[in-house]
């Protein structure tokens, strides 16, 4: 794949903002867990039973918190552990960095650790473990991580967080931790809680079969350009459940669902996820940078996928980091998008086509084809997406489309 950067700016310093509990609501992996007491319960903000993590066995066990972005971590506080258990804490990025124990752990339920917080120790992962000689199962109610943002670009707002939404349908379910029953509405997809456990009842879940509409729409409150979305899949052992989100669709629109219900192929396409989504995983998907700003974001199941019942534990969306004109044009060599061309002309190189596409603006041009042998450029328009079978193999052609320039983790 060839990438052409239209504009590239370098930022020499790390951006630092105020210190807070940077682990709250983030992603967690664990060496094992006793269902339903999963690793996420150490970052849920609740420090008492039944909202506590319990490992499946004793001996060497670990919890790893994914902060999603780089942070300068200063303190790690372990709350409500077994008094006879002794833990170690490390920062894990390119190398493991040990944090110093500040408390006498034996006989105490809480422990604190101080970590090196200089720029060379900026970390995305925090790992807490117990030794192989420990006779207890690892049991922790909460882990608080004090730190500061350390990406090279300022923090961007998740424009979906706690916004109003709607769904084609919702399923009625209960949480095993409290026994409460309720509808799994779109509110649970945008509450900032990245909990993939279906048993905890913290996901949005439609109630339609594979031929149903199966969509979630979120009102962002105003028009936004979207750089990328993040989508969190459920933790499951069922193949049918995991495959429900295969090739999921992200769209954008100016129409609220009460006026125009989302229908596949009838709204501007951000992107389609390419294939299977790993279970209990937060994946990101960049949008086309040739779309204008829209107010409503749509997540929809691919038609006929598995047995229906579309779901997500969390849905996020972020604006471009820089000026919306900063784009990367990526090429797929030896392919041509057939059937969507609206203008064809002679061009010496792909850059000539890209400049022409940019001049036409957001409403006209979505991608280009370029023939290296004939020196021909084709401008394509496919605002609501294109049929994958129309992307055909052709030796002398290349297919180009644009995403926003992005630096750092997503």
Please give the pLDDT value at position 326: 86
On whether the pTM is more than 0.95, the answer is no
Mean pLDDT of the chain: 92
Q: Do 402 and 289 form a contact (C-beta atoms < 8 A)? A: yes
Residue 67: which of 152, 146, 157 has the closest Cα?
Answer: 146
Q: Do 251 and 267 form a contact (C-beta atoms < 8 A)? A: yes
CA distance 8 to 326: 7
Q: Show the low-confidence residues of the chain (pLDDT under 70).
A: 1-19, 94
Please give the pLDDT value at position 16: 40
Enumerate long-range contacts of 364-367, CB under 8 Å, 24 or more apart. 365/290, 366/288, 366/290, 366/340, 366/401, 367/290, 367/337, 367/340, 367/399, 367/400, 367/401, 367/402
Lookup result for tokens 């779901």:
311
Please give the pLDDT value at position 325: 72
Please give the pLDDT value at position 9: 30
Query: Three-class SS of residue 161?
Result: coil
CA distance 194 to 40: 8
Please give the pLDDT value at position 313: 97
Please give the pLDDT value at position 211: 93
Please give the pLDDT value at position 19: 64
**DSSP string of 196-214, one letter each residue:** -BGGGT-SEE----TTS--
Q: Alpha carbon of 109 to those of 42, 58, 90, 336: distances in Å?
A: 14, 17, 19, 63
Token representation of residue 112: 């604190």
Please give the pLDDT value at position 17: 44
**In order of start, what are the domains of the chain with their CATH numbers?**
27-149 (2.60.120.260), 164-318 (2.60.120.260), 327-404 (3.50.4.10)
């Amino acid at each position: 794949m060839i990438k052409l950067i239209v504009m590239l700016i370098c930022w020499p310093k790390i951006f630092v903002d105020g210190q807070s509990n940077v682990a709250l609501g983030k992603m967690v992996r664990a060496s094992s867990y006793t269902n339903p007491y999963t690793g996420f319960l150490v970052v849920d903000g609740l420090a008492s039973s039944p909202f506590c993590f319990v490992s499946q066995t004793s001996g060497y066990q670990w919890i790893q918190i994914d902060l999603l972005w780089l942070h300068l971590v200063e303190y790690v506080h372990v709350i409500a552990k077994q008094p006879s258990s002794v833990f170690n804490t490390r920062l894990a990025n390119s190398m493991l960095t040990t944090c110093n124990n500040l408390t006498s752990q034996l006989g105490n339920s809480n422990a604190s650790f101080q970590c090196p917080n200089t720029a060379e120790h900026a970390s995305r992962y925090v790992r807490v473990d117990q030794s192989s000689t420990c006779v207890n199962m690892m049991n922790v109610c909460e882990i608080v991580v004090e730190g500061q943002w350390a990406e090279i670009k300022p923090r961007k707002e998740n424009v979906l967080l706690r916004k109003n939404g709607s769904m084609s349908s919702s399923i009625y379910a209960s949480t095993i931790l409290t026994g409460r029953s309720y509808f799994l509405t779109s509110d649970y997809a945008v509450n900032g809680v990245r909990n993939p456990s279906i048993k905890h009842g913290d996901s949005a879940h439609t109630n339609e079969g594979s031929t149903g509409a199966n969509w979630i729409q979120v009102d962002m409150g105003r028009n936004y350009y979207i750089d990328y979305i993040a989508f969190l899949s459920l933790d499951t052992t069922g193949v049918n459940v995991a495959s429900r989100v295969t090739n999921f669709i992200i769209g954008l629109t100016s129409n609220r669902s009460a006026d125009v219900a989302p229908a596949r192929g009838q709204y501007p396409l951000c992107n389609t996820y390419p294939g299977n989504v790993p279970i209990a995983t937060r994946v990101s998907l960049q949008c086309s940078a040739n779309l204008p700003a829209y107010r409503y974001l749509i997540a929809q199941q691919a038609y006929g996928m598995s047995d229906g019942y579309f779901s997500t534990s969390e849905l996020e969306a972020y604006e471009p980091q820089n000026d919306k004109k900063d784009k990367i044009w990526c090429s797929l060599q030896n392919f041509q998008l057939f059937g969507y061309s609206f203008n064809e002309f002679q061009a010496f190189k792909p850059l000539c086509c890209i400049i022409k596409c940019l001049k036409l603006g957001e409403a006209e041009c979505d991608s280009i084809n370029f023939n290296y042998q004939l020196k021909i450029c084709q401008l394509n328009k496919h605002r609501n997406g294109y049929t994958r079978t129309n992307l055909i193999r052709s030796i002398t052609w290349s297919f180009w489309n644009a995403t926003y320039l992005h630096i750092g983790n997503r």
